[in-house]
Chains A and B, each alone.
Chain A
Amino acid sequence: MGQPLIEVRNLLTSFTSGGKRIVAVDGASFDVESGQTLALVGESGCGKSVSALSILRLLPSPPAQIEGGQVLFEDQNLLTLSEADMRSIRGDKIAMIFQEPMTSLNPVFSIGYQLVEAIRLHRKMSFGDARKRAIELLELVQIPAPGSRIDDYPHQLSGGMRQRVMIAMALSCDPRLLIADEPTTALDVTVQAQILDLLRDLQNRLHMGILFITHDLGIVAEFAQKIAVMYAGQIVETGTVAAVFASPRHPYTDGLLQSVPARVLAKTPGNLPKRLPTIEGVVPSLASLPEGCRFQDRCQHRRHLGDQGIRCAVDVPQLETVQSGRTVRCHFPIEAVSS
């Protein structure tokens, strides 16, 4: 285990909405190591994107406010840096790619112009050199005929090509950390496979750490080494992907994994259960969270606890280490399956 590239400690981010304070990320802690991928997993509104945007301090304030915690990157706390220092880190040492390659490129400039702009912002380079570098980058992300494609405008490219351009732009200054916020959600599966292959290949070559935000457990299984599961603003389970998938300890993780049709199909080929296992109910609103555990109303396991289950409605569970490299936020974690 090397020194983590970035350490997020007790991150607390809130929004003010209609005079009310809503905590979107409640004490999230996670690390990303060089050359490794951490998958941050959860349903919409669970705080995974807000966590990522907090790291780069890209949230508009107001309404957003980072109230506490630390983001340690190369011996600095990013949350206390001046805006000017922060700007020199964004797009340079830490880069981000977004879900929507259609909206994250400027439609009125050629992709070459936008790449050159990103390079020259962080590197003292002549226009000609920056353009050469831009062509190299397009080649790196396997865009055919980069020398002529560089003068194309975003609308001339397909969705997959645009996401490649976004990746090229993110890589323009050799980032140490890449934050990828659902980069393949808007793409077809065949194109998604190409983009994931590309990211994996680039990670091996450039040894970047990747924080990969997704709700697709298939991508997690194939792409990440570690996983952090978020629910209603909190991290509820962390561990290596292999260990968490083999033996989830939090009832929410367990429910998520069980409701994936592919896993159901793999376990019972030819003899499908008539119904998929589901997690009943809906995610509670961040504006009106229950006392105690946030998952209590939907928890299958609590129903078997009898009187003991009262604890879930009263005590707030903390994220605790249950075995080496595994943390779980549950008073009654599921028994570990020995493999």
Chain B
Amino acid sequence: MSEGLLSLESTQPSQSEGHASSVPSVPVIEAINLTRHFVVGQGLFGHGHLVHAVEDVSIAVAPGETLGLVGESGCGKSTLGRTLIRLIEPTRGRICVEGRDITHLRAFELRPLRRRMQIIFQDPFSSLDPRMTIRETLLEPIRIHRLHGNKASQETAVHQLIERVGLKPEILGRYPHEFSGGQRQRIGVARALSVQPRFIVCDEPLSALDVSIQAQIINLLLDLRDTLNVSYLFISHDLEVVRYISHRIAVMYLGRIVEIGPAESVATRRLHPYTQALMGAAPIAEPGAPPRRRVVLAGDVPSPLDPPSGCAFHPRCSRAKLGKCDREVPTLQTDGDSAHQVACFYPGS
């Protein structure tokens, strides 16, 4: 199954052709059968329950590529993002960074590789240290990784970083509380960039921002992708934003990827019934637009403590056939063109 995911020729990012070569490139980051379970409710009595946050996920992100990750809250998308860069340790499976297996590296071995992979958090109000000036915030990772020798070149680097994200160097002496949400998110981006990463996990970086500011941050991320050829795992619940920014989209449900493929193909063909429900649920900003292909799902996401048997989506699925969907777990199967895969026994629109 992972061979299919490794073939990235057809998913070469279109907006960075200057960097794309005919040789299939080594993924910046790759997860192979990645699984993460959490134990909850383990107390003095009882053994607790197992939460299947991420279950057998295999994905790869090419250099300069943006992989969008969508799904409802609690589906495991943030856990997947954090497990990929080993902020959370995987239960099973492997992670490779630029072809090197990092699954079992120890902290001191991993540290030099931390430079290669960074994260931008959802809430710019809690992800910056309120007692550090912006200069200190940006300098800390540079010092830890000993990136620029003397103080003067460190200062130049910090100036360049802050200008790169569209802020003025005058603000370097200020503290986070003096900035608006959009400005803080720019600072968060600058901090992630300070160690020249190849891969950035963007964990809902827009959801705390206003509409007019969201568009500014989207454009900033697109600019950085084009100039630095950095790759993103872009986690969001806003499907239109994901469709806009991503080369490929992965749809997650209860810990598993249920559909993955080129962004336009996933957004328009919607082979998995869950993708149809998710994409059809977002209201369209066009009054009198033709009625959407809406499938209003009944109920909420089932608890990951006790996921349904077989296909985890079957209790909410209109297509589910008893005897099949509630017994067997569907795996990702390639549909037609080799880049689009879906995990459903009865896919189609």
Contact = CB atoms under 8 A, between A and B. Distances in A.
B244 A277 contact: no
A220 B285 contact: yes
A275 B222 contact: yes
Contacts of A44: 181, 210
B206 to A, nearest CB: 10
Given A259-B212, A261-B244, A193 B286 contact: no
Contact of A245 (B214, B264, B287): B287
A120 to B, nearest CB: 30
Interface in B264-301: 264, 277-278, 280-289, 294, 296-297, 300-301
A273 to B, nearest CB: 10
A264 interface: yes
Interface string A231-271: 00000000001100110000000011101111111100010
Nearest to A246: B287
Contacts of B294: 193
A282 B239 contact: no
A255 B212 contact: yes
- State the majority secondary structure of interface residues on A: helix
A321 B211 CA distance: 27
Of residues A190, A223, A276, which shows the largest number of chain B Cβ atoms within 10 Å of its Cβ? A190
Contacts of B91: none
Nearest to B181: A44
Contact of A190 (B214, B238, B240, B281): B281
A279 interface: yes
A263 B212 contact: no
Contacts of B72: 188-191
A223 B284 CA distance: 10
A191 B75 CA distance: 14
A278 to B, nearest CB: 4
A242 B284 contact: no
B284 A262 contact: yes
A277 B240 contact: no
Interface of A: 43-44, 158, 160-161, 188-194, 196-197, 215-223, 241-242, 245-246, 255-257, 259-266, 270, 272, 274-280, 282-283
Contacts of B277: 190
Contacts of B211: 43, 215, 217, 256, 259-260
B338 interface: no
Contacts of B182: 282
A208 to B, nearest CB: 20
Is the interface on chain B under 10, 10 to 19, 20 to 34, or 35 or more residues? 35 or more
Interface of B: 15, 72-73, 180-183, 210-216, 218-219, 222-223, 237-241, 243-244, 264, 277-278, 280-289, 294, 296-297, 300-301
B285 A257 contact: yes
Given A218-B285, A260-B211, 8 more contacts: A189-B281, A192-B283, A193-B294, A196-B283, A222-B284, A222-B287, A262-B282, A262-B284
Nearest to A215: B211
Given A275-B219, A282-B180, A193 B285 contact: no
A262 B218 CA distance: 13
A141 B41 CA distance: 32
A192 B72 CA distance: 11
B244 A161 contact: no
Given A43-B211, A274-B222, A217 B237 contact: no
B218 A261 contact: yes
B313 to A, nearest CB: 12
Nearest to B303: A158
B285 A197 contact: no
A282 B213 contact: yes
A280 B283 CA distance: 26
B226 to A, nearest CB: 8
Contact of A221 (B181, B223, B285): B285
A260 B215 CA distance: 8
B290 to A, nearest CB: 11
B210 A260 contact: no
A72 to B, nearest CB: 28
